Amino acid sequence: MTVQIDTQRTIDLLTQLVQIDSVNPSLVSDGSGEGEIASFVHSVLCDAGVEATLEQVLPGRPNVIGRMPGTGEGSTLLLNAHLDTVSVAGMEDPFSARISDGKLYGRGAWDTKAGLAAGLSVLLALADEKVSLPGGLVLLGAIDEEHGSEGTQAFLNDAEVDGCIILEPTSLDLWVAHGGFAWGEIETKGVAAHGSLPDVGVDAITKMGHILHQAEGLRQRLRLTRSFEPPLGGETMLPSLHASTIEGGREWSSYPDRCLLRLERRMIPGETQQDVEREMDELLSGLARNDPQLRASWRFSMVRPPWQAEKGPLFTALETACRAQLGHAPGRSAGLMWTDAALTQQAGIPTVIIGPKGDGKHAVVEYVELDSVVTCARILLDTALRFCPQSR
């Protein structure tokens, strides 16, 4: 039996995926969402004779799932690529899927439709040859990874898989650790008053200025005092904190009665939601001790845990497949990005992350190197052929 990735079909699939607008509507209010791209993937799978379903997660926003059941007691592998993209603001021709010099351009080309095309190609290659593995192979096209990860969370409610490969733009490195994040909102309350009444008005924006100043101090302390060395290699990780948006005030001549700051705290492995809670409480209570007029509160709007890879059968299978297909050991990398790997691993599924090579994720010029998409597909196929026969 020879199962082979069809190079031209992989490129054609990627072209079609990039040509479909799938901007996440939770990020951009008029974003098209994942409905059309999910239907496209669904029809590609059905045409190839692969069992496929669309599962509504949010209105008009379904996950698409392809399943190739195993023939025996082998391990089931999940290939997970998100369907959504970030906004196309500032891009010249985001859905052209123009190919030039071996690179395919467009929003989502690298993040992560190339990974999706590679995963899809693996299922099609097996279907072409009517090969069934001892364990199952599942492809999840997940909605909403760029915002609230509703797609992967919904899938995990009843997932029965033994390992997961998250397909993200890693440039064919293995990502071995990534950050978590906490999105917080701080609100200061002032007293609205005419600008001519300084004894009455309390300026909520200036109060927030004091908080911002403290937050900058906290950021510097965090980066000097905390770090994480991923045991499987890759870069040293430091935590971070930054302001995201700020709003407040009504007009020139009035004391502002409210100011709202949104901020993001990126966490390194080992840090938890409780650590961030403590920092926020201490920051505000420290200021309040010296300023009886300060009325400030904070809350989380979303928290996602950090992630680190663990050695095990899937990690070994993927690394061995990389060596076989690349001719050398893959690089190992770590950083403060976030992926759905944190959710799958939290659900008890050993998870690894890999994807093709390119540049410009979330930027105005995004591309993927086509060779690397095909190589990625070969690595995934090779990994499945090594992992799925192993007993659970």
Residues in touch with Zn ion (CB under 5 A): 111-112, 168
Closer to Zn ion by Cβ: residue 119 or 201: 119
Closer to Zn ion by Cβ: residue 144 or 319: 144
How far, in Å, CA of 75 to CA of 52, rounded?
20
Give least dist CB 145 to Zn ion, A: 6
Q: Two tokens at 170?
A: 């890693």
Burial class of residue 301, CB neighbours in 10 A (0-12, 13-18, 19+): exposed
Bridge partners for 105 per DSSP: 367
* 183: helix, strand or coil: strand
Closer to Zn ion by Cβ: residue 168 or 257: 168
Per DSSP, the chain holds a count of helices (H) and strands (E) of 9, 19
CA angle 34, 367, 48 (to 5 degrees): 50
Closer to Zn ion by Cβ: residue 126 or 373: 373
Give least dist CB 249 to Zn ion, A: 36
Closer to Zn ion by Cβ: residue 38 or 127: 38
Closer to Zn ion by Cβ: residue 111 or 279: 111
CA angle 213, 215, 216 (to 5 degrees): 65
Closest listed residue to residue 55, CA positions, set 167, 164, 153: 153
Q: What one-letter code names the amino acid at 364?
A: V
Closest listed residue to residue 339, CA positions, set 181, 195, 223: 181
How far, in Å, CA of 124 to CA of 102, rounded?
23
CA distances from 348 to 119, 156, 158 (A): 22, 10, 12
DSSP 223: H
Give least dist CB 80 to Zn ion, A: 11
Closer to Zn ion by Cβ: residue 22 or 112: 112
Closest listed residue to residue 339, CA positions, set 210, 222, 166: 166
Query: Is residue 100 within 8 Å of residue 164, measured between CB atoms?
Result: no
Give least dist CB 292 to Zn ion, A: 46
Closer to Zn ion by Cβ: residue 162 or 168: 168
Closer to Zn ion by Cβ: residue 339 or 390: 339
Give least dist CB 86 to Zn ion, A: 9
Neighbours of 74 (CB within 10 A): 20
Closer to Zn ion by Cβ: residue 91 or 212: 91
Q: What is the CA 20 to chain-centroid distance, rounded?
A: 20
Give least dist CB 82 to Zn ion, A: 6
Give least dist CB 20 to Zn ion, A: 16
Give least dist CB 5 to Zn ion, A: 22
Residue spans of alpha helices (H) in the chain? 7-19, 35-47, 114-128, 150-156, 204-225, 273-290, 313-326, 341-346, 370-387
Bridge partners for 303 per DSSP: 182
Give least dist CB 111 to Zn ion, A: 4
Query: Is residue 138 within 8 Å of residue 163, measured between CB atoms?
Result: no
Give least dist CB 13 to Zn ion, A: 18
